[in-house]
Chain A
Amino acid sequence: MSTAQKPARRDGYVYFPGCALSANGIAYDESLRTLYRLLGLGLRELEDWNCCGATAYMSIDEGSAFLLSARNLSIAHRMGAEEVLAPCSACYLVLRKTQDYVAHHPSVRRKVTESLERAGLGPLNTVRVRHPLEVLYNDVGVARIQSLTTRKWRGGRIACYYGCQVVRPYDEVDKPYNPMRMDELMQAVGAPTTDYSLKTKCCGGSLTGTTAEVGLRLNYILLKEAARKGAQAIVTICPLCQFNLDVYQKEIARQSGERFDMPVLFFTQVLGWALGGEPRELGLHRSLAGQSLIQRWFAAKEEVEAYV
């Protein structure tokens, strides 16, 4: 458990929400902003940000994929930021990968530099790409989150699901093999976690929409294994994982003939609630699956208890 505490930076991180967090994953955006406010950390939104291109751009035109990220990074630099916060797995990876390729492949660097110049955008500088899981773990620290906890956890066991692109292929957010940082943060606010050997198995991303028989099967396995390990809810760090496990859960239950009614939450929602955020400002009403449990676990009129 890390106890390193650095002073909170008031001028803040530049925040790149991305398309998912402004639409189906809006609860992630709401809960992240609430949590940052409760922690006294600043959050400035990246000005006129564009889509990261996700996996689709890489499949069509790799050069353009890097250019999309280069624009975002150069705007972040112009805003005076040293760090850009990317909560979405796809955004995080594409930005991070762009920096890696610009640094290590001269042909990519040349094309990115020329294109930024042509568009009148500033030079590509080393803005550090960060994920909120790692910021909360390293900059804020588990001990500080624990000390700021004002609500006692009344929910059940949870399975922490990290998904793929945040922990792979770059290992700065957490270990690629058995990541534990989200587990530690959950335990710090009193939420018991289960072992979950599928914590970094892929949810299939957009396969649920394009090849449902494959995509739904992957998500069935994830839900089934979480339930088998005694988890009553899944907590995740990725908007696409949350979308797949939450929105398709009813259909998966129907097709498999099994009963699933499992809340699928963002880790920022659990942390935000523990630190005293209100359920509505954390977007807890936006989950489709497991609403009865969510309403019981995160009661709005919960008496605030000292919990240290």
Chain B
Amino acid sequence: MLAMIRRKMKFQREADPVWADQISQQPGIDRIWSCVQCGTCSGTCPLSIYMDFTPRRVVALVREGFRGDALGCQTIWLCASCYSCTAHCPQNVHITDLMYRLKREAIQYRMFPKRFPIPVLAREFFRLVQRHGRNSEVWLVVRMALKSNPFALLSMAKYGFGLLRTGRLSLRQDRIQRTKELQRELSAPQEEPQ
């Protein structure tokens, strides 16, 4: 019972304003300081009704420096990158880019819910393309399911048949010819935090 009781109020000493400054130096994210908290982003977002924090609240949390809440929430993973918030924002805040930035840090520090399929999909996609230069839907889905919820494969099999019948599914891992060239290009020393 005690485990379910959670304080909702936040104290300023829990905030990390330096982190907020760091984040806003990322290209495209500096506009968060101009946010007037009007909520247009939350209103236009097709997924905000499923989110634990609406996009407007995420911007506020980031600006105040509440790193744990901003990185641990489901909101950033439900964001489908449709850019509706960015296109409608009267203050030209690049909210989609902010979501991407939070996703990257959450993956880097493993701050996403365990076995949550969305970050797993992103990571497996990243690895496939890193290695082969191209994506393969079948293998991506299989790898994602094995690392999040293997039972999902059963429910996905029913779509596979129709796709195979209409020639829309290839079991082959597609790859580029000059993988070396691509890997050399991608082999830049990582900048932290990127």
Contact = CB atoms under 8 A, between A and B. Distances in A.
Interface of A: 19, 22-27, 48-51, 53-64, 67-68, 70-71, 101, 104-105, 107-108, 111, 114-116, 118-121, 164-165, 168-169, 176, 200-202, 204-207, 209-212, 214, 218, 247-248, 251, 285-288
Contact of B121 (A63, A104, A209, A248): A209
Interface in B138-194: 141, 144, 155-156, 158-159, 162-163, 166-170, 174, 176-178, 181-182, 184-188, 190-191, 194
A50 B126 contact: no
B100 A59 contact: yes
Nearest to B155: A212
B111 interface: no
B122 interface: yes
Q: 5 tightest A-B contacts by CB?
A: A202-B82, A164-B82, A119-B185, A56-B125, A105-B27
Contacts of A107: 27
Nearest to B159: A247
Contacts of B65: none
B110 interface: no
Contact of B181 (A105, A120, A176): A120
A51 B135 contact: yes
B134 interface: yes
A51 B101 CA distance: 21
Given A26-B168, A59-B100, A107-B27, A71 B47 contact: no
A209 to B, nearest CB: 7
A247 B129 contact: no
A266 to B, nearest CB: 13
Contacts of B129: 50-51, 53, 57, 68
A212 B103 CA distance: 20
Contacts of B156: 209
Contacts of B191: 63
Nearest to A24: B168
Given A19-B174, A120-B181, A176 B87 contact: yes
B96 interface: yes
A246 to B, nearest CB: 9
30 contacts: A19-B134, A23-B174, A24-B163, A49-B176, A51-B135, A56-B125, A57-B125, A59-B119, A59-B122, A60-B126, A61-B190, A62-B101, A63-B191, A67-B186, A101-B28, A111-B188, A169-B83, A176-B87, A201-B82, A202-B46, A202-B82, A202-B84, A205-B81, A206-B121, A210-B118, A214-B78, A251-B158, A251-B159, A285-B166, A286-B166
B117 interface: yes
A23 B170 contact: yes
B133 interface: yes
Given A108-B27, A286-B167, A207 B78 contact: yes
Secondary structure class of chain B's binding surface, majority of residues:
helix
A214 B47 contact: yes
Contacts of B80: 55, 164, 202, 204-207
A71 B185 contact: yes
Contacts of A202: 46-47, 80, 82, 84
Given A61-B104, A115-B188, A211-B118, A19 B135 contact: yes
Given A23-B137, A211-B118, 9 more contacts: A26-B168, A56-B126, A57-B125, A61-B190, A63-B194, A71-B185, A169-B83, A202-B46, A202-B80
A210 B144 contact: yes
Contacts of A247: 159, 162-163
B186 A115 contact: yes
B75 interface: no
B11 interface: no
B104 A62 contact: yes
B48 to A, nearest CB: 11
A168 B103 CA distance: 20
B86 interface: yes
A176 B27 CA distance: 23
Nearest to B148: A210
Contacts of A286: 166-168
A58 B100 contact: yes
Contact of B100 (A62, A119, A209): A62
B100 to A, nearest CB: 5
Contact of A57 (B47, B126, B167): B126
Nearest to A61: B194
Interface in B92-133: 94, 96, 100-101, 103-104, 107, 117-119, 121-123, 125-126, 129-130, 133
